[in-house]
Amino acid sequence: MRWLPLLLIISCSLTPIPDVTSNYVEPCDTAQRVCPVAFTLKAVMERSVELRGDFRDAGWSDGVAMERVNDAWNATLQVPWGATVQYKYFIDGNRWILDPANTQSVPDGKGNTNSIVRNVTCAKWACTSAQ
């Protein structure tokens, strides 16, 4: 009879309790996952900034306009899980710069250097339909 309270405690600890503090999302195959990747450039005297890169077709010529909020230019992309993204900032329609906040870079094979984000993953992803 002395073991009954211990047995009750042990059996209760085996009951799964949902983790309400995690970033749990609905499961999907990794090929269908996308992660939000934030790009931020400290604002100085720029009139406009575009994020350009290999994150989409024609991404080097038709970039994503960044939004200035206070002292920074911001843009967030939905990037496929595990992808590697090469990018630069295009300033005022005439000047390219590497991301000063990212020390990772790679030559592009054409005499230029690009900033790079490798193997994108995230704790909270979205699921998209297979492409």
81 within some domain: yes
CATH number of the domain to which 92 belongs: 2.60.40.10
Domain tally for the chain?
1
115 within some domain: yes
Higher pLDDT, 117 or 26: 117
9 within some domain: no
Query: What secondary structure, in 3-state letters, does the chain show?
Result: CCHHHHHHHHHHHCCCCCCCCCCCCCCCCHHHEEEEEEEEEECCCCCCEEEEECCCCCCCCCCEECEEECCEEEEEEEEECCCCEEEEEEECCCEEECCCCCCCEEECCCCCEEEEECCCCCCCCEECCCC
pLDDT digits (tens, 9 = 90+) for 22-62: 455 568 888 899 999 999 999 999 999 999 999 999 999 99
31 within some domain: yes
From CA 72, how far away is CA 101, in angstroms rounded? 12
How confident is the model at residue 104, as a pLDDT? 97
Q: Which residue range forms the structural domain that includes residue 55?
A: 23-127
How confident is the model at residue 71, as a pLDDT? 96
14 within some domain: no
Higher pLDDT, 109 or 65: 65
pLDDT bin (cut points 50, 70, 90) of residue 19 is very low
